[in-house]
Amino acid sequence: MTTCWTWGYDGYDPEREPLVEALCTLANGRFATRGSAPECTAGTAHYPGTYLAGCYDRLTSVVAGERVENEDLVNLPNWTLLRYRCRPDDGPAGDWLTPDATELRHHDVRLDLRAGVLTRRLFFEDARGRGLRVSHMRLVHMRDPGLAAQYTLFRAYGWSGSVEVLSVLDGTVTNAGVERYRHLDGRHLTDHRTGFESDGVAWISCRTADPGIRIAMAVRTVTRPAGPAREESTTAGTVQTYHLPIVPHRSAMVVKTLALHTSMDWPAADPLSAATDVIARAPSFPRLLSAHKAAWQRVWEQGELRVPGEVGRILRLHMFHLLQTLSPHTADLDVGVPARGLHGEAYRGHVFWDELFVLPYLDLHFPEVARALLMYRHRRLPAAREAARLAGHQGAMFPWQSASSGREETQALHLNPRSGRWLPDHSHLQRHVGSAVAYNVWRYAQATGDRGFLHAAGAEILLEVARYWSGAATFDPALGRYRIRGVMGPDEYHDAYPDAANPGIDDNAYTNATAAWVLARGLDLLGELPAARRSELSEQLSLNDGELARWEAVSRRLYVPFHQGVVSQFEGYGDLAELDWESYRARYGDIRRLDRILEAEGDTVNRYQASKQADTLMMGYLFGPEELYGLFARLGYRLDEEVWRATVSYYLRRTSHGSTLSGLVHGWVLARQKGADAWRYCEETLLADVADVQGGTTGEGIHLGAMAGTIDLVERGLTGLETGPEGLRVAPVPLAEIPRFAYTLCCGRHRGVRLRRLPGRLAIRVPASPEGPLTVVLPGDRKVTVPAGHERWFRL
Ligand code: BGC
């Protein structure tokens, strides 16, 4: 049965398995295990994967005659593998059973979102009517982030004998989860060693090729009835074989408990000794389960958004994946926001600008986690400075794709699966990622009031990004304005002008407007810093008045192109050819990846007014109308509701939504302007992963930005919520499909503030605390206060 707290799949469909595995991944912020069938190793339908946050490895491969380096989130040894077969007293041993066996009669998968437990139930029956029921339960421990466990129960029907069980620790795994990366070397694990300890403990230790992270996994296998095991080491793994006597109505059980330790952990310890010590003391499955459930309950209390109905159920799944990718444990780690979660190998576990869609939720619910994610960027500030220096610039140039070191990890070549051609990848020109990092710093500080962070690490990030923009902008005397040239906007389709010799486009409106915003905030920040810190930073960064005067000038005179009364996505966008959208839709059906379609036809999307995803419209996602119009006014442009509406409808007609982030931004922008199609885009984003709308990509990892964004769309988008020094500002907009919802948030030093939305009404409850009353600013700048320990309702 599927309820609002469960997510399930009935029956077995090998083609659906990659999706099931990704959406049934279990994690605790530190590591994740895909929801793969324990019986199976990697193949077309199955792909067991265990990934440790921040554990990347670099390998060099040769593709299309070129040597390319790639850093990947490493697939760790498979600890879940459990093979079994029946040995009836009255006949020979049966075949090894898997969901692909012809004897399979029943199969279902249930993910209990409240408890963080995955259950797979199978029933096999052979030609002679001998049945075996198998139930697996798995958890990745939310309280102790070094542990995971898998409990398997066997029950015989109509026969007696034994079940032969192989409990395997498989270190032969490689990174092979994404078809289009299979040309690349995926053998990241080396120097395998294996062994056994007393009490059914097997272990494996290995290291990544470069930079040599040492990894140890110790697995304790306990069976009931208890019995001796035959223990063998294989090339890169261990096998423990058990013969469990079984009779009808009496079940047999196997529990595998995992301890995972690596040389990335602190305090530093030998990973193998740590793993074997921990596993020797690890509690029994029932005790692990109850502590795990209690930890999840606390996570839900802090993180839940309640929305009734099916929308609420999907949102809960999104929250589940967000909360287990970036859990409270993340606050202790040096990791960024992996665009595809810890759920698969797409985009190699890299960190893009997607934190822009994730941090707002964390700011409101788990500010410590948001801060840790910003510190990941801060630790990589030296690498960003070096990248800027090498490019001939000042300040910090954050990479479009980041992983362990903070250097640029964007691939040099990418494969168009439609044409089979390897093409140069210029997406590293998306310099706007730096503004996303700076924006997140500022918004985090606004939402939480964490001046300590803003004035220390936050200021260093923000000022260095501002400085980069100031230097990257060049003055064009003919225009009388500053320009930023040779970049790419969030729309990844346009990486060059048609027939241009060099990549990059000029004056991307989103890049320029956000750069101007960062420069202005940099100046604001310098203005608010305590004198001592300001002079310390000025000295450290060698900031002088001349440079600040330039920041001021650039922030007011950056060029933003317009055409036909709308903001141009970039200079010359309006001169590009119009695409015959209907004919492409008719010919190809799904045209989300128009770039690949056109390239395969020998054409290029660079020639057309066609965008992959929200680019100019991103401005309406980041900024409320007043702030956006004010930003343009500061730049000396008139942007008002009329121009903005015209801009929105212009790009709506010219966007293929080749990224799951696109529907989210369009849904947000339309909902805020009470546009007719808002729900269509919101719904598309809600379904992005659960219905795999991008066609086969979810199995390679969830789309974390879109998942988090849907939650934030309800929490901030539909309420117009802003938390800042003045308190809580709300400007709700109705969305008929989500008329009611409730959640608990942090607002500055107030924790546990409860917001409830009903049609035409909104309630705010402030918990009893020494923080005193909370100021709420309602539409029309109406200020009210809600005393601690009280709830107030407002008519809208
Ligand atoms: C999108 C980017 C995004 C990346 C990772 C791409 O398809 O175009 O905006 O950052 O996926 O999610």
Distance CA 553, CA 547 (A): 10
- The set of protein residues with a Cβ atom below 6 angstroms from ligand 1 is 339, 347, 352-354, 490, 492, 612-613, 659, 661, 705
Nearest CA to ligand 1 atom 7: 659
pTM score of the predicted model: 0.97
Confidence of residue 152 (pLDDT cuts 50, 70, 90): very high
| 656 C-alpha to ligand 1 centroid (Å) | 14
By 3-state DSSP, what share of the chain in percent is helix, strand and coil, each rounded to 5? 35, 30, 35
Sign (positive/negative) of CA torsion 393, 399, 404, 409?
negative
- The single-letter code of the amino acid at 223 is T
Backbone φ and ψ for 294, nearest 5 degrees, come out as -65, -40
Rounded to 5 degrees, what are φ and ψ at 174?
-130, 175
Query: What single string gives the DSSP state of each residue in 334-358?
Result: ----BTTTTS--GGGG-B-STHHHH
Q: What angle do CA 668, 669, 674 make, to 5 degrees?
A: 95
Residue with the smallest CA separation from ligand 1 atom 12 is 339
Q: Among 595, 661, 666, 704, which residue has the most ligand 1 atoms within 8 Å of its CB, making it the best to mutate?
A: 661
Average pLDDT, the chain: 96
pLDDT one-digit tens code per residue, 417-472: 999 999 999 999 999 999 999 999 999 999 999 999 999 999 999 999 999 999 99
Distance 489 CA to ligand 1 centre (A): 12
CA distances from 439 to 383, 514, 705, 779, 787 (A): 19, 8, 16, 25, 31
Residue 128: which residues within 8 A CB-CB, separation 6 or more?
Answer: 91
Query: Ligand 1 centre and the CA of 336: distance in Å?
Result: 15
Q: What is the DSSP letter of 579?
A: P
Mean predicted confidence (pLDDT) in 397-410: 98
The per-residue pLDDT for 438 is 98
Tokens of 189: 């694990």
Determine the 3-state secondary structure of 642 from DSSP: helix
390, burial (CB in 10 Å: exposed 0-12, middle 13-18, buried 19+)? exposed
Could you list the active site residues?
A: 492
Atom number in ligand 1 closest to CA 612? 8
Give residue 347 CA to ligand 1 midpoint distance, Å.
9
Chain-centre distance of CA 442, in angstroms? 21
pLDDT at 287: 98
Four-residue CA torsion sign, 431, 436, 437, 439: positive
How sure is the predictor about 173, in pLDDT bands with cuts at 50, 70 and 90? very high
Q: Determine the average pLDDT of the residues in 546-566.
A: 98
Q: Which atom of ligand 1 approaches the CA of 613 most closely? A: 8
Average pLDDT for residues 612-636, to the nearest whole number? 97
Cβ–Cβ contacts within 10 Å for residue 762, how many? 18
Maximum CA pair distance of the chain? Answer: 93
Contact call for residues 684 and 636 (beta carbons, < 8 A): no
DSSP strand pairing (82-88 vs 161-170) = antiparallel
Q: Is 605 helix (H, G, I), strand (E, B) or coil?
A: helix
Percent of the chain with pLDDT over 70: 100
Counting Cβ atoms within 10 Å, is residue 659 exposed (0-12), middle (13-18) or buried (19+)?
Answer: buried
- Ligand 1 centroid to Cα of residue 706, in Å, is 10
For the stretch 224-254, what's the b/e string if a residue is b when 16 or more beta carbons lie within 10 angstroms of its beta carbon?
eeeeebebebeebbbbbebbbebeeeebbbb
In whole angstroms, what separates CA 456 from the centre of its chain?
27
| 131 Cα to the center of ligand 1, angstroms | 47
Residue 605 binned pLDDT confidence (cut-offs 50, 70, 90): very high
For ligand 1, atom 6: residue with the closest CA: 659
Of 73, 325, 351, 354, which is best to mutate to test ligand 1, by the most ligand atoms within 8 angstroms of its C-beta? 354
In three state form, how does the secondary structure of 425-477 look? CCHHHCCCHHHHHHHHHHHHHHHHCCHHHHHHHHHHHHHHHHHHHHHHCEEEC
CA distance 748 to 367: 10
Q: 545 alpha carbon to ligand 1 midpoint, in Å?
A: 38
Measured from the Cα of 705, ligand 1's closest atom is 12
| Interval between CA 265 and ligand 1 midpoint (Å) | 30
The Å distance, Cα 574 to ligand 1 centre, comes to 24
659 CA → ligand 1 middle, Å: 6
- Mutate which of 325, 492, 698 for ligand 1? The one with the most ligand atoms within 8 Å of its CB, which is 492
pLDDT confidence tier of residue 196, bands split at 50, 70 and 90: very high
User: Looking at residue 329, what is its pLDDT?
Assistant: 98
Q: Where are the beta strands (DSSP E) in 113-213?
A: 117-125, 131-140, 147-157, 161-170, 189-197, 201-208
* 239 three-class SS: strand
Q: What is the pLDDT of residues 642-681, one digit of tens each?
A: 999 999 999 999 999 999 999 999 999 999 998 889 999 9
Q: How far is CA 794 from CA 44, 732, 782, in A?
A: 55, 11, 11
Domains and CATH numbers, the chain: 6-295 (2.70.98.40), 718-796 (2.60.420.10)
Distance from the CA of 479 to the center of ligand 1, in angstroms? 33
Question: In this structure, which residue's CA is closest to atom 11 in ligand 1?
Answer: 659
- pLDDT band for position 751 (cuts 50, 70, 90): very high
452-484 as b/e: b if 16+ CB within 10 A? ebbbebbbbbbbbbbbbbbbbbeeeeeeebbbb
Q: Do residues 429 and 495 lie in contact, with contact meaning Cβ atoms separated by under 8 Å?
A: yes
Q: For residue 536, what are its two tokens? A: 């310390």
Cα distance between residue 251 and residue 260, in whole Å:
29
Is residue 1 over pLDDT 70? no
Cβ atoms 730, 763 nearer than 8 A: no
Helix (H) or strand (E) holding 511: helix 509-528
Q: With 70 as the cut, is the pLDDT of residue 2 above it?
A: no
pLDDT in tens, 259-316: 999 999 999 999 999 999 999 999 999 999 999 999 999 999 999 999 999 999 999 9
